[in-house]
């Protein structure tokens, strides 16, 4: 997951291409790693220009609900962030805010925040931005303190992706908050924490326009 244009598709290449589409959850061809079958999914960003945040949430939630009902449990969630971004804007904060609500607290230990596009910055610039990102109260800091980890994809190679996936394979599968809310608690999407966060965002935007 991550912002539109964050390089999610290229960041997750493991010798295969993910055919990125703005309005679907795309699956890369499965592959074997250390005797286990790995499946990677690419999701549209909540800042997609063609669909609203509510529509994107429904697309992602539908896939997550189906996986959960089929007994498929996620070992990890990768959130991709461009280290080349000079500043963290409102869209990035909003996108990650919805992501946090979608995951919930328990599954944060299985979240990996991956910084990419290191070729566009110097090593010194990149390290300074990592320091800023990890200390931002309303961005990555809280998630990292509650169990999420951060990894850096300094080279866009299959080897670097495998390193990330290997770390995730060590995780104990944990259902996401939205999966438990939709399936176990039989809530509608609008009643979930992520759905309420989207509604709050929409209300805030409408208030600014008035």
Map out the domains of the chain as residue ranges: 8-209
Phi and psi at residue 86, in whole multiples of 5°?
-65, -40
**Token pair in block for residue 145:** 């303190």
pLDDT digit string, tens, across residues 57-115: 999 999 999 999 999 999 999 999 999 998 888 889 999 999 999 999 999 999 999 99
pLDDT digit string, tens, across residues 128-184: 999 999 999 889 999 999 999 999 998 877 788 889 999 999 999 999 999 999 999
Q: What is the pLDDT of residue 12?
A: 62
Measured on CA atoms in the order 69, 11, 148, 139, is the torsion positive or negative? Answer: negative
Q: What is the per-residue burial (b if ≥16 Cβ within 10 Å, else e) of 61-86? A: bebbbebbeeeeebbbbbbbbbbbbe
Is this prediction's pTM over 0.85?
yes
What architecture is the 8-209 domain classified under in CATH? 3-Layer(aba) Sandwich (3.40)
Burial of 33 (0-12, 13-18, 19+ CB in 10 A): middle
CA-based nearest residue to 116, from 11, 5, 12: 11
CA 121-123-127 angle, to 5 degrees, is: 100
């Amino acid at each position: 997951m991550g912002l539109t244009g964050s390089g999610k598709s290229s960041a997750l290449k493991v010798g295969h291409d993910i055919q990125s589409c703005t309005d679907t959850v795309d699956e890369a061809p499965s592959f074997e790693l250390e005797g286990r079958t790995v499946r990677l999914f690419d999701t549209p960003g909540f800042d997609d220009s063609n669909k609203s945040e509510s529509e994107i949430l429904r697309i992602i939630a539908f896939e997550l609900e189906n996986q959960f009902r089929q007994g498929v449990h996620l070992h990890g969630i990768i959130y991709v962030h461009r280290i080349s971004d000079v500043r963290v804007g409102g869209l990035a904060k909003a996108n990650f805010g919805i992501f946090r609500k979608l995951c919930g607290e328990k599954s944060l230990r299985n979240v990996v925040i991956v910084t990419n596009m290191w070729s566009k910055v110097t090593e010194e610039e990149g390290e300074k931005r990592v320091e800023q990102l990890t200390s931002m109260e309303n961005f990555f800091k809280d998630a990292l303190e509650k169990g999420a980890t951060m990894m850096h994809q300094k080279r866009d190679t299959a080897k670097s992706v495998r390193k990330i996936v290997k770390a995730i394979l060590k995780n104990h599968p944990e259902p996401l908050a939205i999966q438990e809310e939709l399936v176990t608690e039989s809530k509608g999407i609008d009643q979930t924490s992520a759905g309420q966060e989207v509604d709050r965002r929409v209300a805030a935007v409408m208030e600014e326009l008035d």
